[in-house]
Amino acid sequence: MKILHINTEKSWRGGEAQVLLLAKGLQERGHTISLVAQPDGALKERGVKEGVRVIPLQMRGEFDIAALFHLAKIMKEEEVDLVHMHDSHAVTLGNFAARVARVPIAIASRRVNFSTRGNRFRKLKYLWGIKSIIAVSQEIKETLISDRFPPDRIEVIHSGIDLEKFREKPPQISLYHELGLDPQRPIIGNIAHLAPHKGHLDLLQAAVEVCKIAPEVQFAIVGDGPLRRELLDWIKAHQLDKRVILTGFRDDVAEIISLFEIVILSSIAGEGSPAVIKEAMALGKPVIATDVGGVREILEDQVNGILVPLRQPIALADAILDLMRDEPKRKRIGLAGKDRVKMFSHSRMVCKTEKLYKALVKGQRGND
């Protein structure tokens, strides 16, 4: 098949990592892959390095008419069988371009668990002309169904990780010093975009409680985003400067997770199938996560992870302290997580996506 992928994001986050894993995997299976990405974006740079054919295109929002017609031209020239759009703006641009270029099959990925009910345009663009929506969790599918999307047009395919990349490895001593962390003290880690829905303020409030009882504990928050200044101010105001480190954006995620005793996901909304949970599990690290979105589809409470309620910093602090006190439990949960995460390999994700593509192409040809 000739497949065109579109992603309009400039930053590098979980969604972009998934696009690249999928494009590479499909290419390795013999399909002709083209990836349209921002010319100054991280996905373009990484795609080129990974040997994926990238077509750079400036896309200034979802109503960029010039980009729309440029996309249609690309689709015609490439004679694509289907177009797969990976973010909200890509859905608008790619869908209209596919109609202009008469591409028979348009597919949209849905990675966030926000309802479309309050936005008629958002709902329409995921319905009009879209043959299938790939939801990265059952929870997202249920949200779409409650928003009156047709269930038969929604396919659940969990995002995957490269298990080979996230193999257990010994911590690098030099990395502790680079990040300003003490290798003799336990580290609680969080990796997420610094945005309100990631629940960092709840995590910091939990850190205050943990440090009262276990002053030896350190917290490392990895990532960047619009909330950075607010978080730094909060840390300073609560005298956590020596207890909480904001590392900024890092691309050595596997190496950093290897430093952590426990990995935390503190999100309060929007999560689909968070990759960082799977990455931590693959590295044998116990995970404490808020019970949000599709997290429960990955973690089973007290078996291969710990689930805590949303917006309850005290409950999060209690879970951290409980796990810190119980080394056998940490090891048991870490081992169970390593076994469970095999269900979320990137090869499995690629295989299921390819199967969906083939079914849609076969159905289209049967209707011609």
Q: How many residues does the chain have?
A: 368
Distances (CA, A) of 341 to 17, 32, 134: 17, 29, 20
CA gap 308, 286 in Å, rounded? 14
pLDDT (tens place) for every residue of the chain, 368 residues total: 999 999 999 999 999 999 999 999 999 999 999 999 999 999 999 999 999 999 999 999 999 999 999 999 999 999 999 999 999 999 999 999 999 999 999 999 999 998 888 888 888 889 888 999 999 999 999 999 999 999 999 999 999 999 999 998 899 999 999 999 999 999 999 999 999 999 999 999 999 999 999 999 999 999 999 999 999 999 999 999 999 999 999 999 999 999 999 999 999 998 999 999 999 999 999 999 999 999 999 999 999 999 999 999 999 999 999 999 999 999 999 999 999 999 999 999 999 999 999 999 998 866 65
Per residue, the 3-state secondary structure of 34-77, as one string, reads EEEECCCCHHHHHHHHCCCCEEECCCCCCCCHHHHHHHHHHHHH
CA gap 149, 147 in Å, rounded? 6
CA gap 303, 70 in Å, rounded? 50
Does the predicted model carry a pTM greater than 0.95?
no
Enumerate domains of the chain plus CATH numbers.
2-160+345-367 (3.40.50.2000), 173-343 (3.40.50.2000)
Which residue type is seen at 116?
T
Nearest partner of 139 among 22, 291, 13, judged by Cα: 291
